Structure 1
Amino acid sequence: MNDIILQTDSVEREPHSHSQVLFVLILTTKYHFSLFRPTDIITLDMNFYYYWLWLVFLFMLPYLEQVYSNSRPSFVNIGAIFTFDSSIGKVAKLAMEQAVKDVNSNSSILHSTQLVLHMQTSNCSGFDGMIQALRFMETDVIAILGPQSSVVSHIVAHVANELRVPMLSFAATDPTLSSLQFPFFVRTTLSDLYQMTAVAEIIDFYGWKEVITIYVDDDYGRNGVSALDDALAERRCRISYKVGIKSGPDVDRGEITNLLVNVAMMQSRIIVVHAHSNSGFMIFKVAHYLGMMQEGYVWIATDWLSTVLDSTSLPLETMDTLQGALVLRQHTPDTDRKKMFTSKWNNLTGGSLGLNSYGLHAYDTVWLVAQAIDNFFSQGGVVSCTNYTSLHSDKAGGLNLDAMSIFDNGTLLLNNILRSNFVGLSGPIKLDSERSLFRPAYDIINVVGNGVRRVGYWSNYSGLSIVSPETLYANPPNRSSANQHLHTVIWPGETTSRPRGWVFPNNGKQLRIGVPIRASYREFVSPVKGTDLFKGFCVDVFVAAVNLLPYAVPYRFVPFGDGHKNPSYTEFVNKITTGYFDGAVGDIAIVTNRTRIVDFTQPYAASGLVVVAPFKKINSGGWSFLQPFTPFMWIVTACFFFFVGIVVWILEHRVNDEFRGSPKQQFVTILWSVIYLRESYCHALLNSCILLYMLWYKRDYYYTTTNK
């Protein structure tokens, strides 16, 4: 037994040798069995074997723990790049710090490994962001959170791709940051592609067709407006005027004033502002000064404004400049977990800093990385780096970047990030094929008084609705126009009436509408003497169609022809193709050769031959059935009447006694014989009365039915 103890002591002195552990177990078992004779082995008590099995397990437990701990490091580094003093950065910094504390205090994730977060500010500068990203690579950072700015994200994403470090941005919304160009870029917030779709559906919902966009002239602003242009085109709307302003902290009030003066001279009154907070508030301040926040205008701001409204309390003077504006805000479900964190947040900040949607995304991003790292280690992943050889070539010059290295297992960690699926503070955290959050949704809020009121929701699942997206997810999607609803909006000027959205522009170009001056058929088109106006059926149809348009169309009629003879309509149509006329109004026939060079409207007059006859009112008196008989027709009828009677008298006079007698008697016989030759005078008189009665009754029935 002393040998066993000594052997055990030797094993304890060398805990890292797995082969020695196995050798000691085998040796111990052999030595134990050598104490008994072969015939005594069968009689051993089974409890004795159980005792030795437990002893072996307890003996190996410290070594198994050490082997497990050797596969996971004691800490792991992640980095974060954003602007500390911005509206998003202030909230994100505190949210990520709290998320790291919650992760490290949770024993169910990362276990003995501590998550270490290194933060660097980029000051919204692409150069500073790149420098900070390179510094992270010297500390074996295996994931980068941020950057906050889309401009900086474009630059840092190139560094992340080269060094195979996953980059998760909780605030970069530029839709051109795609996984095709940047395979290691993951967006943990909503893309502006969805936000601009929401703006386009709001514009289409209210029936507006043209909008004006004011945007910051960088990647964030330009690409966002480009996405809006595409979304509007799908709904047969368009951007009529684009206004770009310089990006940066210094905003020139005079420059913005000149830009807004030009906007005020335009036709559209629908203005979309996609900018940063510093320039955005200046735009609204100048617009309020110029009287552009009055009735008739519509202002729509993207989520830059809601981020500030949720984070800080604005002065009353600033809130006055925002009255009536529609604002989009990233939607996050009102869950119990979110309410508990909001209460905890208020205790941390003392109510001085509000929690916005980007802060929730930043918190969830830390948890997303932590869970992915935990799965990474469970799959046998190891944090190992290889020197970036490209920096040691002649191309590197004098750069001292020897510490730069490539994360060997970056692809494995990235795959674990993409497969993440859990419920965070901002809702379900699941990435789609575009590496963006699943089921995007926005709140639509209205700035009223000193706060905001929610007028509806937009989701990629069901469009505009007054019901929360979580409720609609339980039902099949319905994007029909009848299912799109929003609450009443209080527009600028404190009105609830839907603004028309356009006015007659002060600097708009008038359309030249050609009008033929004919010598005949002047009912279609003819000039009004002494004026430059025109009248006629074609002109009335054109004016009625223009009045039905949801926007203003300035135009003027330009005559074609001298009025002494009909002009050539082929030459008239050719004037449109040359640009002399913008359009034409008149009785222009639609023929094949003309349809090849111009577009015609639908014909508004039926083609073919018609008969035009004067309408004469019919007299419905008792003797109206006699009106078709003219005096000449009465004379001819009377002549035929007597002619037939004379012929009958000539034929019957010699053989029929009824046709004899005095001349008076024979004359009467001739008259009655014409009607009924073989009946008596009484019977003939009765038949005549019946005939007259039937004619009278038929006449009354006809006029009664036709006048109903």
Structure 2
Amino acid sequence: MPFLADNLEKVNARIPYTSIIPSFATDDQIVAELYKLMAKQTRVFIVHMRTTLGSRLFSKAKLLGMMSEDYVWIITDGMTNELTSMDRLVIEEDMQGVIGVKPHFPKSDELHKFTVKYKKEIQQQNPTNHDMDLAYDSAVALAMAVQRVRIRNAKFLKKASDSTTPTDLEDFGVSGIGTELIHALSSTTFRGLAGEFKLVEGQLESPPYQIVNAIGAGARAVGYWTKDNGTVREINFTKSTKKTYSTSKSNIGFIMWPGDRKNPPKGWVTPTNGKKLRIGVPVTNGFPEFMHITWNSDNSTKVEGYCKDVFDMAIEALPYGVQYEYVPFAMSDHKKAGSYDEFVYAVYQGDFDAAVGDVTIVANRSKYVDFTLPYTQSGVSMFVPIKNDKNKNAWAFLKPLTWKLWLTSFCSFVFIGFLIWILEHRINEDFRGPLWHQVGTIF
């Protein structure tokens, strides 16, 4: 577990609490420890225990409602390797949605024969022994290293010790050819039951891990994790494919979470004894689309509006749960308790944990509180009609001339011509003659 905690910290995931449950714990002790977990914010639990104790743990967790949609349970290989041999009723009723991980080795005839023989002859006598395939490969590697060194009459150096305890490590002898043996073991490579055996910097390379999901009366494989590629849907031991390292959830199959939840839980909620955040909202008579408060007959309030919807969506997007309540900035008679400046200052004084509303960001208010990014731009705006440039032609100047204007212009033209004819036809011979000639002269 310390190595697991160190690796989780590398990906910015910490273990805030470690619960130790002895194998001989009573049901009351298990329930008491589960109550401690319920009182905390974390809802992601890693179970590292044997199936005998693990089945009891999940049974009590089911009774306490800890297998609901807010929880995530991950079991290590100690339980995952034995899911196939566990009571199906326990998996079907108490472990639905549990995620398990276990080492995955390539299938082979040698591994199958060894597994059958191990379960038949050894497992009944030593039910707590696991990873026997790795132990077998380690013994083979050690034998090959000894054969390469060609040990003859090996001597063991012992330190002087007064201890009479047979399990005292200081009383054990040290091989005189230990350095040669380590060098030979480090360079030993072969294909064993668990795949390729090869030591890198004195450590065996991490094998691929299979990710399983407890559904129904058994477990279903949803993907794999490899050191080079991260999470993958399928794994191929015979063909080497180079891919970029990825931990995307799209690389694995569908996972059914506790409580028949299809989407991954947030893994973090407000503890049962925690307080809700007080979110202040202003009381305003104008622009109810932004924020509107309705008081019910039981003096409870209903907050609506664009600002409230934006805040709810922002909280929903967080990777953990946050409990909060809206508190109006109002007097006992439901009228506003002050101006927007006083509303902002109330947050600074601690009356509210945060404020939501149509609050303008100005310099003097920024001295007391921090504002989030604005979702509307402040300033003066001007509305102008849209100019249509599509109908451009040589007769565009005629568009402002309506039929009334055309009629008025024609009547004025005729009236002026008739007036000139009256004044000129007596003294001007051009305005005399036939009627059609006089009409033409007028126009």
TM-score norm. by structure 2 comes to 0.70
- In 2, Cα distance between the equivalents of 1:263 and 1:452? 26
Match of 1:437 among 179, 190, 204: 204
> Is 1:301–2:72 an aligned residue pair?
no
> Is 1:361–2:134 an aligned residue pair?
yes
Q: How many residues align?
A: 418
Corresponding letter in the other structure for 1:413: L
> Is 1:466–2:233 an aligned residue pair?
yes
> Is 1:231–2:18 an aligned residue pair?
no
Q: Deviations over 1:207-262 (max 9, x none)?
A: xxxxxxxxxxxxxxxxx3454354364xxxx77x745134x332132132133345
- In 2, Cα distance between the equivalents of 1:402 and 1:274? 31
Match of 2:19 among 215, 237, 244: 244
TM-score norm. by structure 1 comes to 0.47
Q: Is the 8 A contact 1:465 1:483 kept in 2?
A: no
Correspondence for 2:106 = 333
- In 2, Cα distance between the equivalents of 1:643 and 1:437? 109
Correspondence for 2:358 = 587
- In 2, Cα distance between the equivalents of 1:628 and 1:425? 94
- Indicate the structure whose relative CO is greater, using CA pairs within 8 Å and at least 6 residues apart: 2
Distance 1:638 1:580, change over 3 A: same
Distance 1:604 1:647, change over 3 A: farther
Q: Is the 8 A contact 2:41 2:268 kept in 1?
A: yes
Q: Deviations over 1:666-696 (max 9, x none)?
A: x9889x85xxxxxxxxxxxxxxxxxxxxxxx
- In 1, Cα distance between the equivalents of 2:176 and 2:362? 72
Distance 1:481 1:567, change over 3 A: same
Q: Is the 8 A contact 2:73 2:99 kept in 1?
A: yes
- In 2, Cα distance between the equivalents of 1:330 and 1:450? 21
Distance 1:421 1:599, change over 3 A: farther
Match of 2:31 among 257, 268, 281: 257
> Is 1:446–2:181 an aligned residue pair?
no
Q: Is the 8 A contact 1:659 1:669 kept in 2?
A: no
- In 2, Cα distance between the equivalents of 1:444 and 1:650? 106
Q: Is the 8 A contact 1:251 1:278 kept in 2?
A: no
Pair member with larger Rg: 1
Higher helix share: 1
Q: Is the 8 A contact 2:294 2:302 kept in 1?
A: yes
Q: Is the 8 A contact 1:538 1:587 kept in 2?
A: yes
- In 2, Cα distance between the equivalents of 1:651 and 1:432? 120
Correspondence for 1:513 = 279
Q: 1:458: how far off?
A: 1.9
Correspondence for 2:307 = 538
Q: Is the 8 A contact 2:190 2:196 kept in 1?
A: yes
- In 1, Cα distance between the equivalents of 2:399 and 2:327? 53
Q: Is the 8 A contact 1:519 1:565 kept in 2?
A: no
Distance 1:659 1:641, change over 3 A: farther
Superposition CA RMSD, Å: 5.2
What secondary structure sits across from 1:470 in the alignment?
coil
Q: 1:303: how far off?
A: 1.1
Match of 1:603 among 374, 380, 389: 374
What secondary structure sits across from 1:586 in the alignment?
coil
Stretch moving more, 275-284 or 357-366: 275-284
Q: 1:610: how far off?
A: 1.7
What secondary structure sits across from 2:240 in the alignment?
coil
Match of 2:183 among 415, 422, 425: 415
Corresponding letter in the other structure for 1:463: G
> Is 1:345–2:118 an aligned residue pair?
yes
Q: Is the 8 A contact 1:515 1:559 kept in 2?
A: yes
Q: 1:360: how far off?
A: 0.8
Stretches of structure 2 that go unaligned for 5 or more consecutive residues are: 386-397
What secondary structure sits across from 2:307 in the alignment?
helix
